[in-house]
Chain A
Amino acid sequence: MLLKGRAWTFGDGISTDLIIPGRYAYLRGDLSALAKHTLEDVRPEFAAQVQPGDLLIAGRNFGLGSSREHAVLVLKQLGVSAVIAASIARIFFRNCINLGLPAIEVETAGIEDGDEIEVDLQACVLVDRTKGLRRSFSPFPTIIRMILYEGGLVPYMRKYKKFLETEGVSAHE
């Protein structure tokens, strides 16, 4: 799968409280209303201006804090095609995969707002066309690849009704 879009850049330590603040918890039943507040305390223009396919680029420990899956849901709602960060907090990472949103850990220094980004998920390569940067990243373990391939854990479970046993030994491959 090849992803192409513009970069929206963020710094280190962006918490899920910043991605979608708890003060909007009452809107969790209305995703389009909730998504209007995505990252508003960091970049107020983000929700209104982000385009389908754009990529979210960040520094270290992106998505730390609360396990709220709505932090990923709102990014998907706005059409963000991948989260790419120097490091990604564990629960947020898992939520991204479960919702079929590629979450990639790779050095992001040098990528600037508006850069044209391409990500090849098969080749595990990120290219910044604007800057001429090319960076490779580690492939996902099998279970994560399969969940992403199916479009997230919901379609995966609708299809298989269980975790496939063969994946229990995927780390041995």
Chain B
Amino acid sequence: MGKTMIEKIIEARIGREVHFEEIVIIPVDLIYAHDWSGPLTIARFREMGFTTVAHPERVAFFLDHSSPSSSREIATMHNLVRSFAREHGCLLFDVGEGVSHVLVAEHLARPGEVIIGADSHTCMGGAFGAFAIGMGATDVAVALALGQTWIKVPHVIAVEVCGKLPHGVFAKDLILNVIRRIGADGAEYKCLEFIGEGVESLPMEERLVLTNMAVEAGAKCGIIPADEETRRYLERRGRGEAFRPLCSDPDAPYDAVIKIEADAMEPLVALPHRVDNVRPVSECQGVPIDQVYIGSCTNGRFEDLKIAAEILRGRRIAPTTRLIVTPGSREVYQRALQAGILEVLIEAGGVVNSPGCGACPGSHVGILGDGERCLSSTNRNFQGRMGNPKAFVYLASPATCAASALEGKITDPRKYL
């Protein structure tokens, strides 16, 4: 019997064979927290009597959730995180650098690593062929001190994507399709492994969308084989030496295999207030939208802003709709600036925020009014998620978001592409 890539990663890190559902203590290669989770992580670290961070060069703190600060309380939380990071020699990505997961992808994640972060979307790092898991502050605090955590070896559900995504259909539509199929708890405690031609043909930037939203199906992690595309991405990023190929064996014991026919797919939308409440865009066309949001760890990369600009170039958004754009990182911001993308978005009537989580977690810079509808390129449409429990959040690809901003209602992007 072959092995899944998750088993291979765990076995390589602990030096012995493991079996599914076994609990193991495992070394952690990269640990991170942010401005909302970092203060509690730091408090826990101290309460446990720890004084030393095991591997500070592989510990990162990000000020991204309320960034720049939204209140005096948040500003004080920022200072707590800053001083701890400096005191212990950890990496610090301050206000304006961007979203933790986006920066981890740009600068830190490597194939075969065990990555834990005090944020549920830490699972995005699995796109590199890493075992990346979201945890709470206390777990992360222990890892800071010990360089270890405990995990249960997860069963693996393979998502096999046959064929290639058609024009105008994106990784966001693909992952919404998976979540529709298995439900918001369909992969609870398990790993979602994305394989097949429809995944192999995707650039890293799109693969990240799949692993990012694995948690929205309840998964412990999402993972994608490390292949030539992974190698090219890492080389472009100056860490090509970290590449090594990694995939599951052909006879790996998957818990289940979910087949998706990519060729037949169309753009999808997740309706309020559940991520698995997914419909084809054709069934929700015409729903009026008050605010369109393009950003987040899921879809705040350069390619996301670029596709939005392609749709919006030379046009103007509907007078009844606001468009808010938040680049996922400083680099995304600069590249989009240099490529003239931000100018297109601004001329179309958009507002560009500084890099960070922006409106997604409901802190500030784009909170919705009572009864308003927002179409968002983010990952969660839970009631209250974007700051107002009386508002309604719909999720879609950046292309669908941009097309809908133009018409002021949910719109199929393919007519503009």
The residues of A with any CB-CB pair to B shorter than 8 Å are: 13, 15, 17-18, 21-23, 25-29, 41, 60-61, 64-70, 72-73, 87, 89-91, 94-95, 98-99, 141, 143, 152-154, 157-158, 161-163, 165, 167-172
By a CB distance below 8 angstroms, the chain B residues around A73 are 40
By a CB distance below 8 angstroms, the chain A residues around B139 are 94-95, 98, 153
The residues of B with any CB-CB pair to A shorter than 8 Å are: 19, 21-25, 36-37, 39-40, 44, 47-50, 65-66, 70-71, 73-74, 76-77, 118-120, 122, 134-139, 142, 145-146, 148, 150, 152, 184-185, 188-189, 215, 218, 220, 274, 361-363, 367, 380, 382-385, 387-389
Q: Which of B37, B49, B218 meets A158, CB within 8 Å?
A: B49
Contact B150 A13 (CB under 8 A): no
Most central of A15, A26, A28, A70 by chain B CB within 10 Å: A26
Known A17-B382, A26-B71, A154-B44; further 8 A-B contacts with Cβ < 8 A: A13-B184, A21-B387, A25-B36, A25-B74, A89-B218, A158-B49, A167-B150, A170-B23
How far apart are A146's CB and chain B's nearest CB, in angstroms?
A: 11
Contact A18 B65 (CB under 8 A): no
By a CB distance below 8 angstroms, the chain B residues around A25 are 36, 65-66, 74, 361, 363
Total A-B Cβ pairs within 8 A: 161
Contact A66 B39 (CB under 8 A): no
Contact B23 A23 (CB under 8 A): no
**A67, B49: Cα distance in complex, Å:** 23
Contact B136 A69 (CB under 8 A): yes
Q: Which of B77, B189, B362 meets A23, CB within 8 Å?
A: B362
**A154, B140: Cα distance in complex, Å:** 12
Contact B148 A21 (CB under 8 A): no
- A69-B136, A157-B49 are contacts. A21–B274 as well, Cβ < 8 Å? no
- Closest A residue to B36 by beta carbon equals A25
A-B contact pairs, 27 of them (CB 8 A): A15-B380, A17-B362, A21-B387, A22-B65, A26-B70, A26-B71, A28-B39, A29-B77, A41-B384, A61-B185, A61-B188, A64-B184, A64-B185, A65-B120, A66-B120, A67-B122, A90-B220, A91-B136, A94-B136, A152-B138, A154-B44, A154-B138, A157-B48, A158-B49, A161-B49, A168-B24, A171-B21
Contact B380 A17 (CB under 8 A): yes
Most central of A13, A21, A66, A67 by chain B CB within 10 Å: A67
**A99, B184: Cα distance in complex, Å:** 25
- Closest B residue to A92 by beta carbon equals B136
9 residue pairs, one from A and one from B, having the closest CB atoms: A95-B136, A22-B362, A61-B185, A69-B136, A41-B389, A26-B73, A157-B48, A171-B22, A98-B138
By a CB distance below 8 angstroms, the chain A residues around B77 are 28-29
Contact A29 B73 (CB under 8 A): yes
- Closest A residue to B19 by beta carbon equals A171
Contact B44 A23 (CB under 8 A): no
- Closest A residue to B138 by beta carbon equals A98
**A68, B138: Cα distance in complex, Å:** 10
